[in-house]
Chains A and B, each alone.
Chain A
Amino acid sequence: AQTVTQSQPEMSVQEAETVTLSCTYDTSENNYYLFWYKQPPSRQMILVIRQEAYKQQNATENRFSVNFQKAAKSFSLKISDSQLGDTAMYFCAFTLIMNRDDKIIFGKGTRLHILP
Chain B
Amino acid sequence: KAGVTQTPRYLIKTRGQQVTLSCSPISGHRSVSWYQQTPGQGLQFLFEYFSETQRNKGNFPGRFSGRQFSNSRSEMNVSTLELGDSALYLCASSPGDRENTEAFFGQGTRLTVV
Query: Are the chains A and B members of one assembly?
Result: yes
Is there an interface contact between A97 and B103, defined as CB atoms closer than 8 Å? no
- Nearest-Cβ distance from residue B88 to partner chain A, whole angstroms: 7
CB neighbours (8 Å) of A103 from chain B are 33, 45, 48, 56, 58
Is there an interface contact between A45 and B90, defined as CB atoms closer than 8 Å? yes
- Bound CA–CA A97/B31 (angstroms): 15
> Does A47 lie at the interface of the complex (its beta carbon under 8 Å from any beta carbon of B)?
yes
> Does A95 lie at the interface of the complex (its beta carbon under 8 Å from any beta carbon of B)?
yes
Question: How many A-B contacts if CB must be within 8 Å?
Answer: 64
Stretch at the interface among A12-20, A22-30, A63-71, A105-113: A105-113
Q: Could you tell me the dominant secondary structure of chain B's interface residues? A: strand
- Max chain B Cβ within 10 angstroms of own Cβ: one of A47, A97, A103, A109: A103
CB neighbours (8 Å) of A33 from chain B are 101
- Interface size, A (range): 20 to 34
> Does A44 lie at the interface of the complex (its beta carbon under 8 Å from any beta carbon of B)?
yes
| Contact pick for B103, options A44, A100, A102, CB 8 Å | A102
- Bound CA–CA A95/B103 (angstroms): 11
CB neighbours (8 Å) of B42 from chain A are 91, 106-109
User: What is A's interface to B at a CB cutoff of 8 Å?
Assistant: 33, 37, 42-47, 50, 91, 95, 97, 99-109
* Contacts A99-B56, A104-B92 known; 4 new A-B pairs at CB < 8 A: A101-B33, A102-B31, A102-B103, A109-B43
> Nearest 8 A-B pairs (CB), nearest first?
A45-B105, A101-B55, A106-B43, A101-B56, A108-B42, A101-B48, A102-B94, A102-B31
